[in-house]
């Protein structure tokens, strides 16, 4: 008897108590429910529309648009000007790639020096500092952090 009473309360009385009000509201407002997945019907025939006139009405006057301001893009690179010879450069690039750094570029930083090997560019100066200390710890090469804007 006790098991039948527990079964009756758990599977019949409690669900009716919890969901009865919502279910009654759903049944009362069933005709007013709009389903968002129903596809609307076409309200006009497309052959009646003059497409050229429609395109001409929607033209945008570019002279009224605000002008684009010049933006300065700033980034940071880690320069290694002390690495001059081609053999040292190749060895340094191989060592950088072995620790997972693949963004290596050559930039003219000084007019006296031909091209300087650099790592980067980085958007954030702190990220450049972090990578610079990682390279310094692993490869024992100190780099200069330079601002690079264009």
What pLDDT score does 54 carry?
59
- Residue 113: is its pLDDT beyond 70? no
pLDDT digits (tens, 9 = 90+) for 56-105: 666 655 556 566 666 667 888 888 877 777 777 888 888 888 888 888 88
pLDDT digits (tens, 9 = 90+) for 122-140: 888 888 888 888 888 888 8
pTM of model > 0.85: no
- Residue 32: is its pLDDT beyond 70? yes
* Distance separating alpha carbons of residues 100 and 39, to the nearest angstrom: 52
Q: What is the DSSP letter of 142?
A: -
* Distance separating alpha carbons of residues 83 and 81, to the nearest angstrom: 5
What distances in angstroms separate CA 92 from CA 73, 117, 142, one per listed residue? 28, 9, 12
- Residue 118: is its pLDDT beyond 80? yes
Closest CA to 76 of 122, 141, 135: 122
What pLDDT score does 40 carry?
61
The pair phi, psi for residue 123, each rounded to 5°, is -75, -30
Q: In which residue ranges of the chain is CATH 3.30.70 found?
A: 74-149
Average pLDDT value for the chain: 76
Alpha helices in the chain (DSSP H): 2-8, 14-28, 51-57, 86-98, 125-139
Please state whether 100 falls in left (phi above 0), alpha (psi between -120 and 50) or beta: left
In the numeric block, which tokens belong to residue 149? 């804007």
What pLDDT score does 49 carry?
61
Asked: is 74-149 a CATH 3.30.70 domain? The reply is yes
């Amino acid at each position: 008897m006790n098991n039948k009473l527990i079964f009756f309360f758990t599977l019949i009385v409690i669900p009716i108590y919890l969901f009865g009000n919502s279910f009654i509201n759903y049944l009362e407002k069933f005709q007013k429910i709009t389903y968002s997945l129903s596809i609307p019907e076409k309200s006009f025939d497309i052959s009646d529309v003059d497409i050229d006139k429609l395109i001409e009405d929607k033209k945008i006057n570019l002279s009224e648009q605000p002008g684009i301001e010049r933006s300065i893009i700033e980034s940071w690179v880690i320069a290694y000007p002390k690495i001059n010879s081609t053999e040292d450069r190749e060895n340094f690039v191989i060592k950088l790639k072995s620790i997972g750094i693949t963004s290596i570029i050559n930039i003219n930083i000084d007019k006296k020096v031909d091209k300087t090997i650099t790592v980067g560019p980085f958007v954030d100066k702190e990220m450049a500092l972090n990578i610079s200390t990682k390279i310094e710890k692993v490869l024992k090469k100190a780099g200069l952090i330079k601002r690079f804007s264009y």
